[in-house]
Structure formats: structure tokens, C-alpha cells
Copies of this chain bind each other. A is one copy, B any other.
């Protein structure tokens, strides 16, 4: 169930030429405030503005060439749609993106700017899946799930590997958890590239399926997802949950106001743009200071795609 070190290393080597090695930022003031030594891995500076580029490129490069030429397909209205579009464009193949017909124009424009081909569906999950399946059959394109796909998971983990190569003595790493791809990938990175590391995730109380899944030992779902952290509304899957269950120490839940305050603090002090979902691990650290006191902590800043005309502060 758990990929080997060789799988993880091969994904790292495969992804490397296609992504930015993103910078790691520190802040004396945020260290003083938190009591930890924090290393922020800035995937908001990644191509298309989020870590999702890593998983998309790794998954596409694992598709045999004959199939790859037929393109890839996903249904998403978020960063994974942009990631698949740009990764496919960079590799010279078509990307078909199924989006609900109520998706904001700004998200459609982002996909179009990376030459993704949009198909609009009705808003239900069933309608989206039906349309994706139809296009897949017609085109022969390969379907890519945003988080429950082993090559996507291995790709997402390469951000944490870069961080651990730069800071090998980290005690802990914290990521957000939504669909679980980044968390599972980062946990694999910690297992093979860290030494005696704890792996945590931050999660909104208002979409705490991950926390409940870790408690119950089976995949739980959200009935409502009323959180500003729009990247974290999805649930875990059968490919990433076994990894998370085995390797993750704990999931720390945070309130909406804590997410917004953490986001504002990172904007003000690091002078960087991060999206709400991206502030959740730092909010978790501030919430549970005693767990991280005196520790060297890596935080994956997952992305910076935010609507500047609609900020929560």
C-alpha cells in the first residue's frame, strides 16, 4: 500500500525539470510569535501558482506515450484544472477540463490562459462525471483525479522533498488537507527523507472529514463545507488514506477566523500572496503552539491563487 523509496525518488527526478524549485522563507517575527522555527516552502511561487503542478506533471509523464498523445481529462474548477492545463500544454498534449456551468469566469479564464479546453456541465457531481466519461470515451484521453491517484500523490510530495533536502533536520512538517494528495505525498517525503519526523495537517473545523477519518479509521465525508479554504472542501480517497493513516501523526482543526487571521499575518509579515487554504497549516501551528515549541517546523505554503477583489479582510 505504501510506495517505496524508489518510487518516491523516481517521481522526484521525473518532476524536477518541469517545475520551479521554490524558495524557502523564514521570519524572525513569526518565529518569536509562534515559539517555533518555521521554514515556509513557497509553492505559491510554483508554476500556475500552486503545488498542484507537481502532481499533474508527474501523472502525465507516467502515461504511456501512445495514450498520452490523446490528451488528459479532469473535472475540477480549482487549481488542479489549471495545473493539468499547463502541464499538458508544456508537454504538447490536449487537456480537457470539465467545469460546472456556474464556475466563476476568473477560473475559466485561468484555464483558458493555459490552453485548457473547457467543457461546461450541469453543477451536480453526477453530471460532471457523466460528461467527463463521455469525453474520455470519445477522445481516448486519460482521466486524472486531483488527489486520489498514486502518481499525483507522488508528484505533490516533491515539494516536501525539496524542503527536506534544504533543511534535513526538521522535526515536523505541516500541510493542509483537502483531498489528501499533498498530505500523503508529504508524509512519504518525511518517511524517506526526514529523520524521526512528525507529520501534521491543518484542516478547517467546517470541513473536518480528514480529522474524523483519522479518528474512525475509515474515510469520512462532509455533509456541509462552509469554509473559506475552498481547496480543502473535498474528502480523502482509497489511494491516499492508507498512506495518511499509517504515516500522519495528527490533524489539527482550526476555526474560520483563525484561518483568516493566519492568512493576514502571512501577507503582512512575509509580503507574499497566499490563498486561504494555504494559511491553514500556519493557523494550526498557532492553535497548538505547545506541540511545536522549540521545534524546527516545515510548512508547505500550497498556493497563491486568490481573487484580489474579494479578500476576507
Contact = CB atoms under 8 A, between A and B. Distances in A.
Interface of A: 23, 44-45, 49, 264, 267-268, 271-274, 304, 308-309, 311, 313
Contacts of A308: 264, 267-268, 311, 313
Nearest to A268: B308
A128 to B, nearest CB: 28
B304 A271 contact: yes
Given A267-B308, A311-B311, 16 more contacts: A23-B23, A44-B271, A45-B271, A49-B271, A264-B308, A267-B273, A268-B273, A268-B308, A271-B272, A271-B273, A271-B274, A272-B272, A272-B273, A273-B273, A308-B311, A309-B313
A274 B304 CA distance: 15
A128 B153 CA distance: 60
Which applies to chain A's interface (DSSP): helix, strand, loop or mixed?
loop
Contacts of A268: 273, 308
A31 to B, nearest CB: 14
Number of copies of this protein chain within its complex: 2
6 contacts: A44-B271, A45-B271, A49-B271, A267-B273, A271-B274, A271-B304
Nearest to A25: B45
A44 B25 CA distance: 13
Nearest to A45: B271
A45 B271 CA distance: 7
Contacts of A44: 271
Contacts of A274: 271
A23 B22 CA distance: 12
A308 to B, nearest CB: 6
Contacts of A311: 308, 311
Contacts of A309: 313
A86 to B, nearest CB: 11
A268 B273 CA distance: 8
Nearest to A28: B47
Contacts of A45: 271
A267 B49 CA distance: 12
Contacts of A23: 23
A36 B105 CA distance: 29
